Amino acid sequence: MKRSTYVALALIASLSTCAAAAGRIHSPSLPGSRHWVGFSVITAFQSGHIQHPVANVTLDGAGNIYGTGENGLSPDTYGGVYRIDAHGNERDFYAFDGANATGPAAAVIFGRGGALYGTTVDGVYTITSSRKEKELEALNGGAEGGYSFSNLVRDAAGNYYGTASEGGFFGGQCQQVSVGCGVVFKVTPSGRYRVIHKFRFSDGASPDAGLTIDAQGNLYGTTAFGGSIGWGTVFELTTSGAIKVLYSFANSKDGSQPHSSVVLDAAGNIYGTTQNGGFNGNQQCDGGCGVVFKVSPSGQESVLHSFTSVPDGAFPLAGLYLDSHGNLYGTTQQGGTGVGTVFELTTSGKEYRVLHSFTDGSDGAFPAAMLVADSAGRLYGTCEDGGVGAGTVFQITP
C-alpha cells in the first residue's frame, strides 16, 4: 500500500479554529542562501527491478546513494533497497521476496558493520553488507504495532527508535477505529524489540513519520491524528516512554494532519509540515493545502508558510532540512505545475522560494520524501512517479 494512499485512510475527529500567520512568496535568493544553478536527475528507475521510491535517500562516505522502492518489476514485486554508485549506476541492492518485509516506504540507515536497518509495513529488518536480510520484528497490528512508514533514528548507545501507525492501545477512541492508535518502539543493538509508548488518542494517533533525537536523548515526532482536538500532535518523548504533547492541531489555519518528521534548531524550536489545513480560500485544496509550522520550546505554534497550490505547492508529506544559515528546504507532493515542488524558506517565514516545479516528465512527479544534503551542500530527493514512469532520484546543485 502506498504511503500517499494510506494517509487518506484515517481517523475521524472534530473541528476547531486557530489563527496563525503565513509567509509570502518571493523570487530572489534568500539571505544567507547559496545561488542555485541547477536541477538534475541522477536516476530514472527503469533498469533495476525496484521502483517507486517514496522515502528519502541515504548517503555513504564513498559517494554511494541507498534508498528503497515500494514495489517493482517481476520478480521484485515486493520492493526492496536500491544502490546508486558514485557514477550514477543504479541496481538492486536487495529485493524483498515477500517472506518477511514487503513494500518499504521508509529510508534505510547504516548500523554496525555497514549493515542497513529499516522498516516496512510488515516489520523491522536489517540487511548485512553481504546482503543477508533478517527480520527483527514482525508488525502484525497487535500490541507490537503495525504499518510502519517510519525512518529509524539511532542513539549514541546504538539503539534504534521508530514508530508504527497502527496497533498498540485499542481502548477508547482507538477502539472505535479498530486499528489501534500506534506505537513508538525501540530496537536494541542485539536486535531486541520493545514498545516504549502506546498512543491513546488524547496524546496522538497514527504516527506516520520517523523520530528526531536531541542531544539529551529525547525523541520528537508527530502524529497525523489525535490530540486534544483530533487533528494531530507534535510530541516529545523520553526513551523510557514519558510523553508530553507540545501542540495539538485544530484543522484550521494552524494546519492539520502532520505526516512529517520534525527538525530542531539550536534554540530548541521545532519545524515541520502538515499535509492539510492552512489557507482555505483556494478551491484547489479542500481543507487547505498544508503549512510549514514552527513550535517553540514552550509549545507556541506559528505558521511560517501556508501553501496555496499554485505556484508554491500543496500537500507536503515530508519533513524539512535545516541548513547552517537557518534556511529550510522541503518538498510538496502536489501543486506548483501540478505534481509537486522543491522549496526554500527562511525560519522567520518571511521569504519563500520555489526551487523546482515538477512536470511529470523526465524530472519526476509526486515527491513525498525529505531532502538530504551531502558534505558540499547538494540536496538529494526522490519522486514516486515520473521519469520513465517509475520515479526518479534528483539533485539540486548550488
Low-confidence ranges of the chain (pLDDT < 50): 1-2, 4-35
CA distance 335 to 181: 30
Q: Residue 185: what are its φ and ψ, rounded to 5°?
A: -125, 165
Based on the number of CB atoms within 10 Å of its own CB, is 281 exposed (0-12), middle (13-18) or buried (19 or more)?
Answer: exposed
Count of C-beta atoms within a 10 Å radius of residue 284: 12
- State the pLDDT at residue 12: 33
CA distances from 294 to 247, 303, 345, 388, 394 (A): 10, 6, 12, 37, 27
Task: Tell me the three state secondary structure of residue 300.
Answer: coil
User: Does the global pTM surpass 0.75?
Assistant: yes
Q: Residue 114: what are its φ and ψ, rounded to 5°?
A: 80, 10
CA distance 46 to 56: 19
Q: At the top level of CATH, which class does the domain 17-397 belong to?
A: mainly beta
All residues at 6 or more sequence positions from 205 whose CB lies less than 8 Å from its CB, including other chains:
11, 173, 174, 177, 181, 182, 199, 223, 224, 225, 226
- State the pLDDT at residue 37: 55
What is the 3 state secondary structure string of 43-93?
A: EECCCCCEECCCCCCEECCCCCEEEEECEECCCCCCCEEEEECCCCCEEEE
- State the pLDDT at residue 180: 95
CA distance 277 to 251: 5
Task: Tell me the three state secondary structure of residue 371.
Answer: coil
Q: Residue 393: what are its φ and ψ, rounded to 5°?
A: -115, 130
- State the pLDDT at residue 97: 86
**Residues 344-394 pLDDT 10s:** 999 999 999 999 999 999 999 999 999 999 999 999 999 999 999 999 999
**Residues 317-329 pLDDT 10s:** 999 999 999 999 9
Residue with cell 528519502: 56
The reply to whether omega before 311 is within 30° of 0 (cis) is yes
